Structure 1
Amino acid sequence: MANRKIDAIPDKITLKVKLAQEDYHDLVIDMSDESGPFKGKQVINQLSSITRIPLYYINLVWILYTAEDSVFMLNVRDRQSNSNTDELTKGRCAANFHNGDCFALETQMHYLQEEFKFNLILYCHGLFDEFDCTFEYCRYHNTRPFLNRQISIATDSELLMIVRTRMEEARGVINYFDQLMEIFSDLSIRHFTFNSITKFCRSRNHAGQSAIDLPRYTRARG
């Protein structure tokens, strides 16, 4: 039964993906055997194009296709030797995705291994609202202007060197996270990092709110 279901699906499935306050983009998953057993790399490549985040800066993609179920894929170079990091197989797609399924895209910027990296989270339609925030998804932070500011931070080599130097100077501090947040605050970039966004979105009610006035990021000058 399961094999018949997999064989019956089309060779391509088109999902609809959007940033908040933006139209949907097509995300096409090639389900043919010729595209290989794992489909995550093609999804990551397309999301890089949709978001304009350079591929190098994408750490992972996590698709929540229901409130309880999800599929996970890391951005790794050697897909064959790292297949356990890509859960998006033909079978998973057949069982859980349909043409036209809609997802909202969240861009989480983290400081990982002395670099800024993005985790891209796709929320199914039941987890986001077109007109207001939900517990899972904030439609005010996940916009194109906000993402563009995140990208400008992640790709700023001068800023990255400042963060690395200050973290090296603070080596051995008891609370690594607090030290990192202090540095981000000094550089006026803390509000663009994932942990600060999550705390903000889930601690207040956006009902009736049409916009959030975000402080501007200015490039570091040393």
Structure 2
Amino acid sequence: MQYPRDRRLSYIGATYIGNFTDKNLIFEVFDEANRYLAQNDLPIRFLYLGKLEVGPGYLINIPVGDKQVKGYPLEALIEALYARLLQEIHKDESFQMRRIFGLTTFPLVSRNQYFHIYEKFLGFQQDILGMKIMVLSMKPFESEDKELMKSRIFKGVLHELGHSFELEHCPNECVMNPPSDIDDWDRRPPAYCSSCMRKLQGALTAELLLRKEKKMGR
């Protein structure tokens, strides 16, 4: 999934981490997100960057009850995604890509420095020097039904994208409304509510105006 680079748009680097056999599902999720953004006249698009290679040495064993599951330390993924984003920026510093989104097949965990336990995350994002690093685990969304799994991940992508533009959790029928369980998530409409859409449009407009002012040297 490569799109012509339109200078009127902002872009989000799109990648995935892990051994996911159905790569088409990844492409379809980001394609669907781009269609949704275009249909709603939102001047931002995902740009596929290929798979992000993170060595198997980063995987750790996480105790879950009497079992062990493998997962990625959140800090390692954030660092790898940031490095990949910098690589793209250095190719063309005038190109508007200040965000990167990584999907991963493994759980996301971070070691609590106070209690020495691993905290699990579904999605996470971090600001680094004005750049937004976003990561979402596909593990909780797994299903034998490909279309159902794709819908779940798509809504997760919109949710994290909203957070990257300062949208908070929302009580409405909206992807910004966090679910109580996976069935609740399946019932959630794959869209922002009108209130969140207005906030997102406003945030994007403000970002584009700031970019124009910087370009004009104000």
So what's the TM-score if we normalise by structure 2?
0.30
Larger % of strand: which? 2
Which structure is higher in RCO with an 8 Å CA cutoff and minimum separation 6?
A: 1
So what's the TM-score if we normalise by structure 1?
0.29
Q: Which has the larger radius of gyration?
A: 1
